[in-house]
Structure 1
Amino acid sequence: MKKFCLVVLAMLPLTAFAYPIDVQKQLNGMSIDYNAYDTDNDIASIQVNNYGATDAVCKVVFNNGPESPRTRTIEVPAGKHKNATAKFTRTIIKMRINLSCTPK
């Protein structure tokens, strides 16, 4: 039993807990796609892909609940992608991202 408990305790650092990410999007008819990532326990990021023929200006708001939201504005050229990240002072439990894009 002691060996079993030792093995379980040794494996604890190997388990990683990802937090859920909810993305609310307002794309205004543009061909935009996104991939949201939990980079670290206090860092969130999103990759915005522009598949359309016009450049886009996107506003990304990262909301972690008790902390103030972090706002990033990125310009995504046609056929390219850009990343936006936000670091928080607390561990993220649930991330809410608002993505709104308009033509440039």
Structure 2
Amino acid sequence: MKKFCCVVLAMLPLTAFAYPIDVQKTLNGLSIDYNTDDTDSDIASIQVNNFGTTDAICKVVFNNGPEAPRTRRVEVPAGKHSYATAKFTRTIIKMRIDLTCEPK
């Protein structure tokens, strides 16, 4: 029984890795979709997919709370995808991402 309890306690930190990600999007009529990922405990990333026929320029703002927001600008050609990532100095508890896309 002691061995079983030790194994369960040893695996506990492995299950508490993910953090919630909220995305606020302003797409301005473009056919844009996204996928978010918690790459590491202090790195967040987003994949921006353009399903339309018009190239897009997107501004991505990563906000972790007490730290300064990280702003990334990505160009997403029609029918392609692009990635944006941000690294923070603290462990992320909750990530808020503002995605704003405009036609090129």
Deviation string, structure 1 residues 18-66 (Cα, Å, up to 9, x no partner): 1000000000000000001100000000000001111000000000000
Q: Does 1:77 align with 2:77?
A: yes
Aligned length: 104
Deviation string, structure 1 residues 52-82 (Cα, Å, up to 9, x no partner): 1110000000000000000000100000000
1:14 aligned residue? 14
CA RMSD between the two structures: 1.2
In the superposition, the TM-score normalised over structure 1's length comes to 0.94
Matches within 5 A, 1:1-104: 1-104=1-104
In the superposition, the TM-score normalised over structure 2's length comes to 0.94
For residues 44 and 57 of structure 2, the distance between their equivalents in structure 1, rounded to whole angstroms, comes to: 20
For residues 51 and 4 of structure 1, the distance between their equivalents in structure 2, rounded to whole angstroms, comes to: 50
Gaps of 5+ in 2: none
> What is the percentage of aligned positions where both structures have the same residue?
84
Q: CA deviation at 1:6?
A: 1.9
Gaps of 5+ in 1: none
For residues 23 and 14 of structure 1, the distance between their equivalents in structure 2, rounded to whole angstroms, comes to: 25
Corresponding residue SS for 1:5: helix
